[in-house]
Structure 1
């Protein structure tokens, strides 16, 4: 059993694991940050290295968030600080998850220059409220497939999450803690801000579309991987 401080440190460290970068080097001997958008996230891994590495990176990034929120958050002992009317277990899960997200965006192992945190955020929220995240993931797919824009799907689903939580709390009277709504709003704002360059490209018609499960030809100087 560990203190909350140690839980946050462990969560940050697991969040810092650069899945896309390490998988790219391990499988193909390349740094995914040198190609495509230059981002260290799973979307660029899909674009540059194909669906096998991309989907593996996506699952690992989600797993980091789920592990921090669902497992590390439970490793505590002794007195914990009060959070008023908010449910303590949920708050600690969210704090651990936030630490993992910060780790993904500012990873210790990459000089604090990481991805945008969408997949890790999804993993955190999946551990906290699975039903809501299933709804949000369906929205993500519903936006991605016809549009082809991962960035648009990410932002839409990020905004949809707090809306779905609010409906569950205030309309259906479910037992979701209000802290989930507060954190959901903050995460949605953070994800939209992180995608500000994508927003500019979308408005200018210059955003890259997700159009293939195969590696981008010639993008890493080795043809098709």
Structure 2
């Protein structure tokens, strides 16, 4: 139990690193929580201060999830958990998922940023890349397709979140790929959390006033356009 607590604690603090907020402040001296959607995530960093901070925030946020699920959870030794045998789940995968979920919690409620964080999409992607890279490759293809056809980042994020457990189920039960069942269960939980976190975006999508990507050229942001 002590090892699990230590993994969770490290993962939370790792997830609490506010990549978008710190990169925007370091590169441009701007607190993005005061502009755009007021969300401390990579998408708002792109929107407010431009592509440099947005790219850096994306790398940091994905890296947090990857490190929590793929490194922290494997470096700290955990004995097999007998309770998981009931479901046929692998201890290593489950602990990786647990660490990743705690990192997402840290991202959404970061102790280093007044508990005002992002929505966890990039961190979730990092977790799942660490645990099932091929499934995530297909999921990211869904994200890119929806983004380029709709120009809504929020819609692409929500669609990709729902696509992940769907693709896990298709690969495992339709094509017989050896994927741990816990990936499906936690994939559904992550998808649900991301959809809930995007409630305001969903309302704007339904009203037709959600922010849309106007161009896929390197974003200059509100700062670059002289709006800040």
**Band the TM-score falls in, shorter-chain normalisation:** over 0.9
> Superposed, which structure 2 residues align to 1:1-225 within 5 Å?
3-77=3-77, 79-82=79-82, 83-84=84-85, 85-212=88-215, 213-216=218-221, 219-220=222-223, 223=226
Structure 1 runs, 4 residues or longer, greater than 6 Å off: none
d(CA) in 1 for partners of 2:203 and 2:77?
47
- Whether the aligned pair in 1 keeps the contact of 2:168 and 2:179 (CA below 8 Å) is yes
Cα gap change, 1:102/1:215 in structure 2, threshold over 3 Å: closer, same or farther? same
Offset at residue 215 of structure 1 (A):
2.5
Deviation sequence 1:10-37 (CA, Å, 0-9, x none): 0110100000110111111111111110
- Whether the aligned pair in 1 keeps the contact of 2:12 and 2:106 (CA below 8 Å) is yes
- Whether the aligned pair in 2 keeps the contact of 1:159 and 1:188 (CA below 8 Å) is yes
Offset at residue 80 of structure 1 (A):
4.8
Gaps of 5+ in 2: none
- Over the aligned positions, Cα root-mean-square deviation in angstroms equals 1.7
Greater per-residue helix proportion: 2
Offset at residue 77 of structure 1 (A):
3.0
Q: How many residue pairs align between the two structures?
A: 222
d(CA) in 2 for partners of 1:176 and 1:134?
15
Offset at residue 72 of structure 1 (A):
0.3
d(CA) in 1 for partners of 2:14 and 2:163?
27
SS in 1 for 2:7: helix
Gaps of 5+ in 1: none
d(CA) in 2 for partners of 1:214 and 1:159?
27
- Whether the aligned pair in 2 keeps the contact of 1:4 and 1:80 (CA below 8 Å) is no
Offset at residue 94 of structure 1 (A):
0.4
SS in 2 for 1:176: coil
